[in-house]
């Protein structure tokens, strides 16, 4: 995205608009392109003036008469104007430089929940030309050591509320690293110092490729990978999404998603900063607190990720204790902006909470591109991207969907040509983004100090010898109306009865049943069977359970009828595993995880205390050690 050809797009817009009509979704396209062009133009202008470092966006707002008294941040019971925040940031910068010797280019690890201090430290480090490495505060032990080591951080600053996660074994292993808990006392000391504004020279060389921060991606397997977030990955998505969503300086953007991830940091915080709007946040996501915080901070744009909206929907209606009024629609939110909203939740969410627009995006931290879908109606319900004809003509060559080989989990290559094959409309395939073959780094900076992982994300000779493409690892399909639908994560799709089953599509179908709060689907190996059988780890709504917490026979029967009616035979989830809220998804990000569940399968020794059911005739019935041994003995054929 960083290298969109501006001179090509701008004149083409005017000419093309003249003859393309609404049937080709021209308005939508203009909105989309109109969002991209200024974002790219701004980046070019800032780079030219040596002011690409986002500290300048903040400083300009804090020092300009028209914006300095505007609210910059609302958090818990505190509110800071731009001017007030600027003063604090410069004092923290003074402490980092004078007391801790932080230098330009140095990486400093920040291990924080969402707090005002966290954002002040990020801005203070940027002001010094230093680089924050954002650590997932849930990490402990080996994973934490890994992340700090990857960043080569000499200094780790820690939120007091997560300090206990940094155990003795971590400190012992990293004996050269300074760990410092940022207590209120320490913050008072920082505030007592004089403001320090580092000279422009330390920030002047911030380039599109230059590193703005390090954000760790939580892969489904293995240790987190440190993705380099360049200044263009800060500037372009921030500028693009804020225009696309229509964020103005009068808006308050609220998030409860963790700032250590790109969603909240880039599409939330720097998005808001790029428009000089007000940023509001909660320390972490809480289903019961979410709307109260939205109301308290008077937010009109909210952010969601993964299953967030499903959790909000599963919560009972909030009634005002004083007036008895239903508070569900008592807010000023006009846009919900995020990623991963399932079609089964989409409309229910809009209706119950009265949110007019949903802006769903698809992008990855490491990726060099995103796709977007903004909607006020049902037309592309569930689509992650919706590109009109004009957009496709101009930018279509930078995105491709290619056939995947499920066995190898790699894009399929034609044995004759050795090249990849584009998926037909409707056929699922892996989404790829084009990279400049001779300067891959211009778009994809890769993982810090990890050439191996970096090269695995880049594929060469895809459509012609020597070209370069970025692998998203996501399987999507396109339809004839330029809509793009998420199908699955690569590696999640499984094969049963010689058919390919998308776990995301099965989960959507199961999730549409009225008894289901959440469904996470994966394929499991069974004794004496080829391929993998579908299993759904489910959380039932409390109303579907009896007093002992077990699903009622009616519920199980109705669910069995529902899946049989909505899925082809080979895609039926043959097993149900009852899990509790917490094991259905990962902490912090509200994204589902499958690896452990998939490895445990339905072996009663491994499923621990969870109840397992299997599909027998017209209902789901208990599955236990006896049934397992029948499978092992080859007495049952599914």
Ligand X SMILES: *[C@@H]1O[C@H](CO)[C@@H](O)[C@H](O)[C@H]1NC(C)=O
Binding site for ligand X (CB under 6 A): 248-250, 341, 346, 358, 360, 373, 375, 377-384, 386, 404-407, 499-500
Yes or no: say if 500 and 406 are a contact pair by the CB < 8 Å rule.
yes
Give dist(CA 383, CA 380) in Å, integer: 5
Closer CB to ligand X, 341 or 516, in the complex: 341
In the complex, what is the shortest distance from the CB of residue 163 to ligand X, in angstroms, rounded to a whole number? 39
Reference 467, options 530, 404, 411; nearest CA is: 411
In the complex, what is the shortest distance from the CB of residue 570 to ligand X, in angstroms, rounded to a whole number? 9
Yes or no: say if 265 and 234 are a contact pair by the CB < 8 Å rule.
no
Closer CB to ligand X, 282 or 373, in the complex: 373
In the complex, what is the shortest distance from the CB of residue 567 to ligand X, in angstroms, rounded to a whole number? 15
Closer CB to ligand X, 66 or 323, in the complex: 66
Give dist(CA 448, CA 29) in Å, integer: 35
- One-character DSSP codes across 359-401: EEEEE-SS-S-EEEEEESSSTTTTEEEE--HHHHHHHGGGEEE
Yes or no: say if 539 and 532 are a contact pair by the CB < 8 Å rule.
no
Give the phi and the psi of residue 141 in degrees, each rounded to 5. 50, -130
Reference 421, options 409, 446, 438, 403; nearest CA is: 403
- Which residue's CB atom is positioned nearest to ligand X? 375
Reference 203, options 37, 55, 386; nearest CA is: 55
In the complex, what is the shortest distance from the CB of residue 184 to ligand X, in angstroms, rounded to a whole number? 36
In the complex, what is the shortest distance from the CB of residue 351 to ligand X, in angstroms, rounded to a whole number? 12
Residue with the two structure tokens 């964020």: 247
Closer CB to ligand X, 105 or 354, in the complex: 354
**Interior angle at CA 178, CA 172 and CA 181, nearest 5:** 100
DSSP H or E stretch at residue 211: strand 211-217
Dihedral, 257, 263, 268, 273 alpha carbons, nearest 10: 140
Closer CB to ligand X, 530 or 581, in the complex: 530
Q: Report residue 60 as tokens.
A: 């300009």
Residue 570's SS3 state is helix
Closer CB to ligand X, 189 or 250, in the complex: 250
Strand partners, 572: none
Give dist(CA 235, CA 271) in Å, integer: 8
In the complex, what is the shortest distance from the CB of residue 253 to ligand X, in angstroms, rounded to a whole number? 14
Closer CB to ligand X, 158 or 432, in the complex: 432
In the complex, what is the shortest distance from the CB of residue 410 to ligand X, in angstroms, rounded to a whole number? 9
In the complex, what is the shortest distance from the CB of residue 198 to ligand X, in angstroms, rounded to a whole number? 32
In the complex, what is the shortest distance from the CB of residue 24 to ligand X, in angstroms, rounded to a whole number? 14
Give dist(CA 305, CA 62) in Å, integer: 30
Closer CB to ligand X, 217 or 500, in the complex: 500
Closer CB to ligand X, 31 or 161, in the complex: 31
Residue with the two structure tokens 């963790």: 258
In the complex, what is the shortest distance from the CB of residue 409 to ligand X, in angstroms, rounded to a whole number? 9
Q: State the DSSP code for 502.
A: -
What's CA 187's distance to the chain center, in Å?
31
Reference 138, options 105, 113, 115; nearest CA is: 113
Give dist(CA 169, CA 165) in Å, integer: 11
In the complex, what is the shortest distance from the CB of residue 359 to ligand X, in angstroms, rounded to a whole number? 7
Q: Where are the beta strands (DSSP E) in 404-530?
A: 404-405, 410-411, 429-435, 458-460, 468-478, 483-489, 494-496, 499-501, 516-524
Give the phi and the psi of residue 57 in degrees, each rounded to 5. -60, -45
Closer CB to ligand X, 132 or 338, in the complex: 338
In the complex, what is the shortest distance from the CB of residue 342 to ligand X, in angstroms, rounded to a whole number? 9
Give dist(CA 529, CA 58) in Å, integer: 60
Closer CB to ligand X, 113 or 242, in the complex: 242
Closer CB to ligand X, 271 or 386, in the complex: 386
Q: Report residue 76 as tokens.
A: 């818990």
Closer CB to ligand X, 325 or 378, in the complex: 378
Give dist(CA 170, CA 38) in Å, integer: 45
Closer CB to ligand X, 115 or 252, in the complex: 252
Give dist(CA 422, CA 544) in Å, integer: 44
Yes or no: say if 156 and 148 are a contact pair by the CB < 8 Å rule.
yes
In the complex, what is the shortest distance from the CB of residue 425 to ligand X, in angstroms, rounded to a whole number? 15
Give dist(CA 469, CA 431) in Å, integer: 10
In the complex, what is the shortest distance from the CB of residue 386 to ligand X, in angstroms, rounded to a whole number? 5
Closer CB to ligand X, 98 or 499, in the complex: 499
In the complex, what is the shortest distance from the CB of residue 499 to ligand X, in angstroms, rounded to a whole number? 5
């Amino acid at each position: 995205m960083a290298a969109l050809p501006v001179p090509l797009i701008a004149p083409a817009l005017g000419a093309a608009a003249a003859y393309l009509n609404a049937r080709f979704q021209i308005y939508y396209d203009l909105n989309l392109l109109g969002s991209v062009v200024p974002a790219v133009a701004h980046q070019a202008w800032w780079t030219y003036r040596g002011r690409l470092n986002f500290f300048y966006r903040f400083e300009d707002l804090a020092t300009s008469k028209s914006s300095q008294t505007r609210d910059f941040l609302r958090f818990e019971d505190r509110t800071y104007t731009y001017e007030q925040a600027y003063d604090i940031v410069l004092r923290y910068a003074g402490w980092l430089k004078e007391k801790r010797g932080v230098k330009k280019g140095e990486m400093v690890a920040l291990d924080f929940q969402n707090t005002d201090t966290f954002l002040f430290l990020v801005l203070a480090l940027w002001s010094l030309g230093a680089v924050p490495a954002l650590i997932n505060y849930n990490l402990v032990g080996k994973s934490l050591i890994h992340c700090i080591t990857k960043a080569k951080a000499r200094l780790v600053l820690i939120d007091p509320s997560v300090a206990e996660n940094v155990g003795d074994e971590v400190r012992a292993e990293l004996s050269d690293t300074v760990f410092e808990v940022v207590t209120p006392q320490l913050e008072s000391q920082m505030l007592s110092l004089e403001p320090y504004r580092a000279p422009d020279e330390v920030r002047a060389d911030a380039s599109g490729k230059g590193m703005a921060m390090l954000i760790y991606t939580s892969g489904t397997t293995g240790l987190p990978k440190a993705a380099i977030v360049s200044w263009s990955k800060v500037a372009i998505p921030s500028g693009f999404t804020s225009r696309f969503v229509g964020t103005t300086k009068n808006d308050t953007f609220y998030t409860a998603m963790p700032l250590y991830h790109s969603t909240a940091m880039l599409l939330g915080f720097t998005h808001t900063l790029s428009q000089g709007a007000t940023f509001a946040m909660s320390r972490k996501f809480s289903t019961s607190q979410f709307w109260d915080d939205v109301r308290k901070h008077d937010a009109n744009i909210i952010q969601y990720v993964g299953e967030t909206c499903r959790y909000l929907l599963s919560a009972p209606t909030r009634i005002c204790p004083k007036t008895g009024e239903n508070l569900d629609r008592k807010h000023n939110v006009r846009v919900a902006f995020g990623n991963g909203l399932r079609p089964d939740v989409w409309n229910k969410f809009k209706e119950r909470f009265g949110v007019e627009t949903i802006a769903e995006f698809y992008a990855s931290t490491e990726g060099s591109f995103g796709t977007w879908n903004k909607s006020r109606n049902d037309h592309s319900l569930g689509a992650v991207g919706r590109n009109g004809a004009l957009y496709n003509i101009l930018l279509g060559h930078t995105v491709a969907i290619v056939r995947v080989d499920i066995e190898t989990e790699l894009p399929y290559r034609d044995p004759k040509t050795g090249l990849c094959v584009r998926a037909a409309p409707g056929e699922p395939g892996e989404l790829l983004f084009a990279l400049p073959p001779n300067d891959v780094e211009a778009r994809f900076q890769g993982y810090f100090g990890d050439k191996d992982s970096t090269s695995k994300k880049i594929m060469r000779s895809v459509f012609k010898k020597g070209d370069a493409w970025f692998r998203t690892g996501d399987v999507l399909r396109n339809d004839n109306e330029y809509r793009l639908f998420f199908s699955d994560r690569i590696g999640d799709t499984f094969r049963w009865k010689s058919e390919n089953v998308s776990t995301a599509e099965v989960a959507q179908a199961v999730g549409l049943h009225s008894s289901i709060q959440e469904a996470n689907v994966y394929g499991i190996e069974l004794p004496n069977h080829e391929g993998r059988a579908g299993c759904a780890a489910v959380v039932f709504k409390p109303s579907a359970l009896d007093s002992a917490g077990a699903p009622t026979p009616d519920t199980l029967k109705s669910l069995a009828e529902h899946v049989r009616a909505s899925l082809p035979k080979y895609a039926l989830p043959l097993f149900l595993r009852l899990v509790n809220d917490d094991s259905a998804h990962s902490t912090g990000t509200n994204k589902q995880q499958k690896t452990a569940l998939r490895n445990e399968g339905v072996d009663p020794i491994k499923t621990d205390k969870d109840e397992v059911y299997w599909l027998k005739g017209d209902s789901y019935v208990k599955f236990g050690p006896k049934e397992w041994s029948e499978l092992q003995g080859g007495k049952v054929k599914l």
